[in-house]
Amino acid sequence: MSAEHVHAHTHDGADGHAHDLADVPAPAHDADPARWIEVEHLHYAYPDGFEALRGIDLVIGRGEKVALVGPNGAGKSTFMLHLNGINAPSHGSVRVAGLPVVREHLGRVRAEVGLVFQDPDDQLFSPTVRDDVAFGPLHMGLPEDEIHRRIERALAAVGMAGFERRLPHHLSLGQRKRVAMATVLSMDPSVMVFDEPSAGLDPRGRRELIGLLRELPQTTLVATHDMRLVAEVLPRTVVMDGGLVVADGPTSDVLADASLLEAHGLEAP
């Protein structure tokens, strides 16, 4: 996922103009918790005609923690960018929290679905940690005291309380990843989507990340090649290959299926 994608996510609507999220109606929280994310027959072709997604059907319940695994080029990142409307389906539909992911709901959907990118530097662009974490709540039009509360809560949740005045580019990779997570948590989303969260982390940073992922109350979707992380944290695993879901089940069953893993370029931890 590239930086220009991220800025579409953090700043802009689908038409490239900034939207004030305060103007957007609240989500349909009478949505069925068992179908919090609902993807039906999702196809997506790039402008050159390459069909990256070829009919994805997937239902994820509220609070589920799900791994998304598969070889490079399977369509995982392309799929994740549909969950908050950065990509729009060529065919099929996506609903989150009862809301169709379409242009008129994008402001609310993007407050509901937090994307945490592989490279935190795609997400951190302010002079201080506090400014980065405040960005989303500010654009939601929240009052000053609520913004302050959300910054404190988000930084405490990722173990970065006390870093408000620090310069993001002076932090370690693990610390920057945690601040990037806080920038999303401050929006109070119901869904957290991670792209390769453990990539590049040293063993201590990885252990801290695993602790954070375990504690998140949100519906959590993690695209990763780190099969140990999958085994330790994510009870359900969805395997993608060639733009399709080729397996979906309890992580223990998927990781025990040696022929499935081998067929799709995966290794048991």
pLDDT tens per residue across span 81-137: 999 999 999 999 999 999 999 999 998 999 899 999 999 999 999 999 999 999 999
DSSP class of residue 35? G
Structure confidence at residue 31 as a pLDDT band (50, 70, 90): confident
* Residue 14 forms part of a structural domain: no
**88, 14 Cβ separation under 8 angstroms:** yes
Q: What's the one-letter identity of residue 181?
A: M
Structure confidence at residue 253 as a pLDDT band (50, 70, 90): very high
Sheet with 236-241, strands from edge to edge, namely 113-116, 191-195, 219-223, 65-69, 236-241, 244-250
| Residue ranges making up the domain that contains 78 | 34-263
Tell me the two tokens of residue 114. Answer: 């937090």
* Residue 170 forms part of a structural domain: yes
* Residue 1 forms part of a structural domain: no
* Residue 2 forms part of a structural domain: no
**6, 123 Cβ separation under 8 angstroms:** yes
Cα–Cα dist 108/209, whole Å:
27
* pLDDT at 269 > cutoff 70: yes
* Residue 147 forms part of a structural domain: yes
What is the share, in percent, of the chain residues with pLDDT greater than 90? 86
Q: Which residue has the tokens 């002076």?
A: 170
* Residue 210 forms part of a structural domain: yes
Q: How many domains does the chain have?
A: 1
pLDDT tens per residue across span 141-161: 999 999 999 999 999 999 999
**Sequence-ordered alpha helix ranges (H) in the chain:** 3-10, 76-80, 106-112, 129-139, 144-157, 173-185, 203-215, 227-233, 251-256, 258-263
Tally of CA atoms within 13 A in the half-sphere of 193 that contains its CB: 25
* Residue 4 forms part of a structural domain: no
**pLDDT at residue 19, as a whole number:** 37
* pLDDT at 23 > cutoff 70: no
- We report the CATH number of the domain holding residue 159 as 3.40.50.300
**106, 25 Cβ separation under 8 angstroms:** no
Can you tell me the mean pLDDT for 15-29? Answer: 41
* pLDDT at 26 > cutoff 50: no
